[in-house]
Amino acid sequence: MSEPKLNRRDFLKLSAVGVAVISGLKVIKYATASETEAGPHQWVMVIDQGKCTGCGYCTLACRAHNDVPPHISWNEVTLAGQVGEKPVYIARPCMQCAKAPCVDVCPVQASTYRPDGIVMMDYERCIGCRYCEVACPYSARSFNWETFEGPNPAVPEWGEPEVPRRPRGVVEKCCFCYNRIDRGLSLGLIPGVDPEATPACINICPTGARVFGDFNDPESNVSKLLHERASFRLREELATFPRVYYLPSIPEA
């Protein structure tokens, strides 16, 4: 007897099962979102547009503390429009998306999630392909075309650098001053409450428009604010789940 041949019907059946299994696995992987386990803290930033005067101190303090070159802003403030007579600004740090397109597209996993939700950049690993810069819907990433040399004009007036300068040929972005958060936590301080443990842009804000804290802590300032006030996030329709919330400017009665 000849060996049973794989006929066309069996082949199609097997193919169908194979495709189903592979796509099923993909769906499961996608549904579990970030591969990193969520840690006890989930840092979020709340920016009150009603209080923001667009002074740009946050941008300057960020430049100094993170040694960002003058032509790059990790935190950019732009005029968005007017509510009544009042100009309204959007201050835009990195949104630290829970489902960040930049992390998805990075071919070398230089962008990763931290357990506390911060989207980290590994500048050693980055190959400068700039996929992430294109993928980011918030234009929060900037490419280093040249080595940043010489003094930083924002130093020392707006603060002192706390992280090393990035080399030429990598993409850089805001990281919620993770170094301040980590140092603060190790000293028993509370990020968002103790200035030493809080991002530089929050501390410098003259009007208190920026608030930082732990989303998991119901007693934190951010949790209370988000509970009491209506808020929105930028480009929510893209399902990136940003960790930066905005409190809209309310027209004066």
Q: Which is nearer to another protein, 65 or 141 (CB)?
A: 65
Binding part of the chain for another protein, among 17-25, 112-120, 150-158, 235-243 by CB under 8 A, reads 150-158
Cα–Cα–Cα angle for 196, 201, 205, rounded to 5 degrees: 100
Handedness of CA 77, 78, 81, 85 (dihedral sign): positive
CB 39 within 8 A of CB 114: yes
Binding part of the chain for another protein, among 39-47, 140-148, 149-157, 215-223 by CB under 8 A, reads 149-157
Q: Which is nearer to another protein, 39 or 156 (CB)?
A: 156
Residue 149 touching another protein (CB under 8 A): no
Binding part of the chain for another protein, among 47-55, 99-107, 110-118, 238-246 by CB under 8 A, reads 47-55
Spatial neighbors of 41 by CB under 8 A, at least 6 apart, are 116, 191, 214, 216, 217
Residue type, 174: C
User: Tokens 């506390």 appear where?
Assistant: 116
Binding part of the chain for another protein, among 7-15, 83-91, 100-108, 167-175 by CB under 8 A, reads 83-91
Least distance to another protein, CB of residue 95, Å: 25
Residue 165 touching another protein (CB under 8 A): no
Locate 103 and state its tokens.
Answer: 């992390």
Q: Which of 4, 150, 151, 218 is in the footprint of another protein by CB under 8 A?
A: 151
Q: Which of 98, 155, 190, 238 is in the footprint of another protein by CB under 8 A?
A: 155
Least distance to another protein, CB of residue 112, Å: 26
Beta pairing partners, 232: 246
Instruction: Compute and round to an integer the Cα radius of gyration of the chain.
Output: 22
Q: Which is nearer to another protein, 109 or 186 (CB)?
A: 186
Locate 57 and state its tokens.
Answer: 């101190």
CB atoms within 10 A of CB 108: 11
Beta pairing partners, 77: 91
Chain residues 182-201 in contact with another protein, contact rule CB under 8 A = 183, 187, 195-196
Q: Which of 38, 50, 54, 80 is in the footprint of another protein by CB under 8 A?
A: 54
Alpha carbon 82 to its chain's center: 26
Residues making contact with another protein (CB under 8 A): 53-57, 60, 85-87, 151, 155-157, 160, 183, 187, 195-196, 206-208
